[in-house]
Chain A
Amino acid sequence: MTAQTTDQAARVVEQPRKPFPWGKVVSYGILVAFSLLYIGPLFMLINASFKPLADFFKDPTGLAASVNFDNYTKAWELANFPRYLLNSAFYTAVATTVFVLTSVFVAFPIARGIVKGSGALLTLYVVALFLPAALIPQFQLILNIGLYNTRTGYILLFLVNAIGMIILVNYIKSIPRELDESAAVDGCGYFRFVWSIVLPLIRPAVATVTVLHAIFIWNELILPTIYLTEDSLYPITRGLIVFEGQYGSDWPALAAAVLMLMLPMLILFMFLQRYIIGGLTSGAVKG
């Protein structure tokens, strides 16, 4: 009995101590160092937004003396940000809705091979990544049908998204075909089948495509620069660049404006991260 206990005690002592986790320390070192490049600009932005202009130029990096929101009210009053936000929200909501709804009815027959030449149709979307930018003929089209500098014309530009279509097609392929058969046997029509049976089943893919497409529209800068010349039509991206052009030397006000306008995206990202990352990596790792 005593011998056994000593034996056990000896074994405990003999057990090698856990080696110092060098690997983890180095990993953390690299990650923390790298994250400074991400926290730094964000912190600089927040810090600058609290500073009076004179303080900023005296010492741009020093900590703000106090948290005050003067720059925020100033930026809000200087430019028509509520209007820009409303415009962005309107363009994003309308274009995303129309795009997603029309796309489901393109993706389903392609994924199922219902129409002849489905493979060729899909190829038309796949090659989009490599094709030249549609910029110039698109402009000629919108100009000549008289939709230049209009909301309708601007929204029209965002009703296509090749990557979104590919994500939808790939996802629909994973829905069992037996479902189509049993629905057809029960006398369900095509539209009702896609609308009330397929659509709910592909919700994850629809969510991903919706979020990706919405982010793309919300962040777009070039198309509003080309197509919209009236301040009252600007989305926030264009509004911010114009604001920078006018008040660019007032860094604290600009920082406040940037922060206010990135807030919606930030909140959206926190809640929908799963869909965003899921969408970007779907199909990327299957080979």
Chain B
Amino acid sequence: MAIEIVKKSYLFGRGWKSWTPVLLLLPGFGLYMLIGFGPSLATAIYSFTDATGVRGAPINWIGLENYDEFLFRGLASRDNLAALQRTLIFMVVVTTVQFSLGLLLALLLNQQLRGRTFFRTLFFLPVVLGVVIQGLMWKLFLFPGGGPVAEVFGAFGIQSEFLGGAPNEAFVWVMVVQIWANVGITMVIFLAGMQTIDETLYEAARIDGAGGWALFRDITWPQLTPAINTNFLLNIVGSLQAWQLFLVLIGYRPGTQVLGYLVFAEGFGQTTGSVSGAFRQGYAAAASIVLFFLVLILGLSANWIVQYRERKYLG
């Protein structure tokens, strides 16, 4: 046979029989190329065109036009850069809080406590419920006209419109819900990491008279390196790409958008909050690529920090 795709070590027959694994692999792999990987890469190509969402409409190559408009032209570009900045703020705040809170909860739940399964299940629950239910639950919880949070804030003399308030205020509440919804994942990854730590390490250190903080600093933190790395990377990349809670909680409001939402809104004509605007898919693809570079740069930096930590702790 001219082309050998299957390796010589293949056990289940020679000749035409050795094509079976390739034929069986093709449907799954083909689908991934067609619907997942291929379209992801093709985003770069579309970003150089004036594609719309109309079937059969001509698509023209317009070079860097979309990028020029997105980053440098007029008021819109200033909004876009503000959205970029907001995406970074969102990433820093969500990553920091979700990481620390997840670690704290995991440390607490890694003890012999009655009811730890209950707490773990409770904190993990929103992950399973999905953005729509997470969002609607918090809209009700943050009901400004006498909802529970409004009552508590009122007791301290704070009046707030929460999600309907000033853009910055609404933005903060979306971050709160984002962390609330996803801290469970961070927590269970930390817990799984803690369960792999050898208990005898702690016993030996305790005999040497080590206290709680020393145990954490010298055993838990270095031994937890793989889980720390995973959470760090997942939190950074995840928060840069997250935007769906914005859609459910506040919709497309000026002064609150992050890049991910911008891509969706421009690409599918939702800039006015309902399907009525133009589908500017080439332009949205360019925004998508800008976001991709952000993810790439920050993801690679995070990865570099992670590697550095591994060399330091695991040799």
A-side residues, CB < 8 A to B, are: 23-24, 27-28, 30-31, 34-35, 37-42, 44-45, 48, 57, 59-61, 102-103, 105-106, 108-109, 113-116, 121, 124-125, 128-141, 143-144, 148, 156-157, 159-160, 162, 165, 180-181, 184, 188-191, 193-194, 215, 218-222, 225-226, 237, 240-241, 244, 251, 254-255, 258, 261-262, 265-266, 268-269, 273, 276-277, 280-281, 284-287
Question: Interface segment, B79-87, B140-148, B164-172?
Answer: B140-148
Given A115-B22, A141-B39, A59 and B11 contact (CB-CB distance below 8 Å): no
Complex interface: chain B residues within 8 A of A139 (CB)? 53, 267-268, 281
Q: Are A280 and B189 interface neighbours, CB within 8 A?
A: yes
Which residues of chain A come closer than 8 Å to B193, judged between CB atoms?
284-285
Given A44-B147, A181-B11, residue A103 in contact with residue B141 (CB < 8 A): no
Q: Say whether, besides A57-B145, A221-B247, A241-B248, A130 and B42 are in contact (CB < 8 Å).
A: no
> Among the listed A24, A38, A287, which residue makes an inter-chain contact with B122, where contact means beta carbons less than 8 Å apart?
A38
Please pick, from A129, A162, A215, A258, the residue contacting B136 in the complex, using a CB distance under 8 A.
A258
A185 to B69, CA, bound (A): 64
B314 within 8 A of A: yes
Q: A284 and B227 in contact (CB under 8 A), knowing A34-B105, A133-B263?
A: yes
Q: A241 → chain B, closest Cβ, in Å?
A: 6
The size of the chain B interface, using a CB distance under 8 A, is 104
Q: Which residue of chain A has the shortest Cβ distance to B143 in the bound complex?
A: A60
Binds A, one of B70-78, B89-97, B200-208, B289-297: B289-297
* Choice from A156, A160, A193, A265 contacting B129 with Cβ under 8 Å: A265
CB contact under 8 A between A105 and B146, given known A136-B288, A139-B53: no
Binary A-proximity of B1-34 (CB < 8 A = 1, otherwise 0)? 0001111011111000100111011011101101
Question: With an 8 A cutoff between CB atoms, is B65 at the interface?
Answer: no
- Which B residue's beta carbon lies closest to that of A157? B35
**For B133, B151, B296, which residue has the most chain A Cβ atoms within 10 angstroms?**
B133
A-B contact pairs, 17 of them (CB 8 A): A60-B146, A61-B147, A106-B28, A106-B32, A109-B25, A116-B6, A135-B263, A189-B12, A189-B13, A190-B13, A190-B24, A221-B131, A222-B244, A240-B132, A280-B188, A284-B230, A287-B226
How long is the Cα–Cα vector from A128 to B38 in the complex, in angstroms?
A: 11
Task: Count A-B contacts at CB 8 Å.
Answer: 277
Contact of A136 among B11, B17, B284, B299 (CB under 8 A): B284
Contact of A160 among B32, B231, B264 (CB under 8 A): B32
Asked whether, in the complex, the Cβ of B12 is within 8 Å of the Cβ of A193, the reply is yes
Measured in the bound complex, the distance between the Cα atoms of B20 and A190 in whole Å is 7
Q: Report the minimal beta-carbon distance from A58 to chain B, rounded to whole angstroms.
A: 9
Decide: A135 and B299 in contact? CB cutoff 8 A.
no
Once the chains are docked, how many angstroms separate the CA of A169 from the CA of B51? 37
B11 and A61 contacting across the interface, CB-CB below 8 Å = no
**CA separation between A49 and B33, bound complex, in Å?**
45
Q: Verify A132–B21 contact, CB threshold 8 A.
A: no
Contacts of A144 in B (CB 8 A): 55-56
In the assembly, what is the distance between CA of A38 and CA of B183, in Å? 12
Chain A hits for B196, CB < 8 A: 285
Q: Is B158 an interface residue (CB 8 A)?
A: no
In the bound complex, what is the Cα–Cα distance between A60 and B36 (angstroms)?
45
Are A61 and B146 within 8 A (Cβ)? yes
User: Are A261 and B133 CB-contacts (below 8 A) given A115-B21, A124-B37, A221-B244?
Assistant: yes
> Are B291 and A132 neighbours in the complex by a CB distance under 8 Å?
yes
Report yes or no: B133 in contact with A137, Cβ–Cβ below 8 A: no
Does A134 contact B5, Cβ atoms closer than 8 Å?
Answer: no
List of A residues within 8 angstroms of B189 by Cβ: 280-281, 284-285
B36 to A287, Cβ gap below 8 A?
no
Residues from chain A with a CB closer than 8 A to the CB of B131 are: 219, 221
Residues of A contacting B146 in the complex (Cβ-Cβ under 8 angstroms) = 59-61
Instruction: Evaluate contact between B7 and A27: CB separation under 8 angstroms.
Output: no
Tell yes or no: B174 within 8 A of A by CB. no
A244 and B248 CA atoms in complex are apart in Å by 10
Is A240 a contact partner of B136 (Cβ separation < 8 A)? yes
Q: How near does chain B come to A14, taking the closest CB pair, in angstroms? A: 22
Give the chain A neighbours of B53 by CB distance below 8 A: 139, 143
Q: Does B46 contact A (CB under 8 A)?
A: yes
- Residues of chain B lying within 8 A (CB to CB) of residue A34: 105, 123
